[in-house]
Amino acid sequence: MKLTLYFREYCSLCHQMLAELQPWREHYGFELDVVDVDADPELERRFNELVPVLMEDETEICHWRLDQAALAAHLGEIG
């Protein structure tokens, strides 16, 4: 499974979510693609004030803060 974290380098919430995802990655073994929305005008327009946004394909799992219940439910549904 591959999740995507839409991210901004200067965003403290983004760095916090990235750090909080590490134990989840170790436990569940999913790949994490970190994408800087500021590198792509379309992504910047789409996600702008929502970052950080954690998604699998087009399914949003959570934004702003890591919602551990939503992530656990998502991983449970997939796994």
The answer to whether 13 touches 64, Cβ cutoff 8 Å, is yes
- What pLDDT score was predicted for residue 74? 95
Query: What's the mean pLDDT in 47-74?
Result: 96
Q: What is the pTM of this model?
A: 0.93
pLDDT digits (tens, 9 = 90+) for 48-58: 999 999 999 99
To the nearest 10 degrees (0 to 180), the angle between helices 12-28 and 68-78 is 40
Task: State the chain's mean pLDDT as an integer.
Answer: 95
DSSP per residue, 19-74:
HHHHHHHHHH--EEEEEEGGG-HHHHHHHGGG-SEEEETTEEEEESS--HHHHHHH
> CA–CA separation, 79 vs 75, rounded Å?
6
Segment 41-70 mean pLDDT: 96
